[in-house]
Amino acid sequence: MSTVSEQKAAVVEHTVTLLKKYDIIAVANLNKVQSGMLMDLRKRLRGQLEIKTVKNTLMRISMEKAEKPATTEFIKAVAGQNMFLFTNGNPFKLAMNLEKSKVESFAKAGDKALKELTIPAGNTGISPGPMISKFGGLGIKTRIEAGNIWVIADTVVAESGDVITADMADLLQRLGIKAAQSGLSLKCVYERGMIIPGADLIIDVPSYRKQFMEAVGGAFQVALASEYVTAQTAPTLVTMALQNAKRVAVEAGYITPDTAAEIIAKANAQAKSLQEKVDAKKPAQ
């Protein structure tokens, strides 16, 4: 018991040191984490963070010793087996790096489909037998040809978010379809007493980029309409002013090297139009 207590005290002491060194505690779910993947993550992010597995009870004691606010709320939010990542970096950047580090894996019963799952038409390479009933149970129409089960048409077996059954997981694995991801999934991030849910840390970069570009374009158009001069709007405003001045000059018949050609073309068009109207008024011979 004494040895156990000493080990726990050492864990708490080391964790307190980490809590004082780093402002951010990221909590990752240990499910679907392979040891090789974890070693690679440690290698890639070395110097940016420290990864440690600590029991929640010891983490609570450590946080209390380090006088961290909202400790009780934080421990409640991270129930279950966890891996703690200590860093001073940007939590959103950390979440994106963890998402990028995930790899495709075969789904297990109880997993949720990450996207629409389709069994493609064609030869499955699976021999007839008990598997026939699994295809049928999932609503997949098949036929037997050349000793193998063939899928007659592309068949959707799950929508995004649907729970994957045992039969579906078995079938997907036999067909070589990886419908799950392995890697660290953040439960939440703690930063100076603030607790940010993991789902709020995943940013849809393409969507935000599109929204940002639309906002920039809208602001640019407003600035042009209000003739607000900046380094970005000045060239366009000058061009617009020149075009407007030229249109006014052409309308007024003010001849310059820039307007002469358009004024002559306009006068010529008007003369032709007038000639056509005169010809239309002439009595027939």
In a domain, 84, yes or no: yes
Query: Is residue 75 located within the same domain as residue 195?
Result: yes
Range of the domain at 160: 117-181
**Residues 232, 220 contacting (CB under 8 angstroms):** yes
> How many C-beta atoms surround the C-beta of residue 187 within 10 A?
19
Query: Is residue 194 located within the same domain as residue 58?
Result: yes
Query: Is residue 194 located within the same domain as residue 62?
Result: yes
In a domain, 107, yes or no: no
Query: Is residue 124 located within the same domain as residue 264?
Result: no
Q: What percent of the chain has pLDDT over 90?
A: 44
Query: Is residue 121 located within the same domain as residue 218?
Result: no
pLDDT tens column, 212-225: 899 999 999 999 89
Query: Is residue 61 located within the same domain as residue 194?
Result: yes
Instruction: Provide the pLDDT confidence category of residue 30 given band limits of 50, 70 and 90.
Output: low
Q: Return d(Cα 244, Cα 231) in angstroms, integer.
A: 21
In a domain, 221, yes or no: yes
DSSP string for residues in 142-163: EEEETTEEEESS-EEEE-TTPB
In a domain, 65, yes or no: yes
Query: Is residue 78 located within the same domain as residue 191?
Result: yes
Instruction: Provide the pLDDT confidence category of residue 201 given band limits of 50, 70 and 90.
Output: confident
In a domain, 18, yes or no: yes
In a domain, 138, yes or no: yes
pTM, whole model, 2 decimals?
0.59
**pLDDT given for residue 185 in this prediction:** 80
Query: Is residue 197 located within the same domain as residue 219?
Result: no
CA distances from 126 to 25, 150, 247, 257, 269 (A): 48, 8, 75, 81, 78
Q: Nearest CA to 16 among 67, 48, 62?
A: 62
Query: Is residue 192 located within the same domain as residue 69?
Result: yes
What's the one-letter identity of residue 206?
P
**Residues 173, 166 contacting (CB under 8 angstroms):** no
Q: Range with the lowest mean pLDDT among 36-40, 141-145, 162-166, 208-212?
A: 36-40
Instruction: Provide the pLDDT confidence category of residue 274 given band limits of 50, 70 and 90.
Output: confident
Q: Nearest CA to 183 among 105, 79, 82?
A: 105
- Residue 57 backbone class (left: φ over 0; alpha: ψ -120 to 50; beta: rest): alpha
Query: Is residue 134 located within the same domain as residue 223?
Result: no
Q: Nearest CA to 95 among 27, 30, 186?
A: 186
What contacts 277, CB < 8 A, 6 or more positions away? Answer: none
Query: Is residue 212 located within the same domain as residue 271?
Result: yes
In a domain, 110, yes or no: no
Q: Return d(Cα 79, Cα 76) in angstroms, integer.
A: 6
In a domain, 134, yes or no: yes
Give the pairing of strands 180-182 and 122-123. Answer: unpaired
- Is the pLDDT at 36 greater than 70? The verdict is no
**pLDDT given for residue 1 in this prediction:** 45
Q: Report the chain's mean pLDDT, rounded to a whole number.
A: 87
Q: Return d(Cα 246, Cα 262) in angstroms, integer.
A: 10
Number of structural domains, the chain? Answer: 3
Q: Nearest CA to 85 among 95, 77, 99?
A: 95
86 versus 49: which is more confidently predicted? 86
State the angle between helix axes of 205-225 and 234-252 in degrees (0 to 180), rounded to the nearest 10. Answer: 40
The CATH number given to whatever domain includes residue 133 is 3.90.105.20
- Is the pLDDT at 180 greater than 70? The verdict is yes
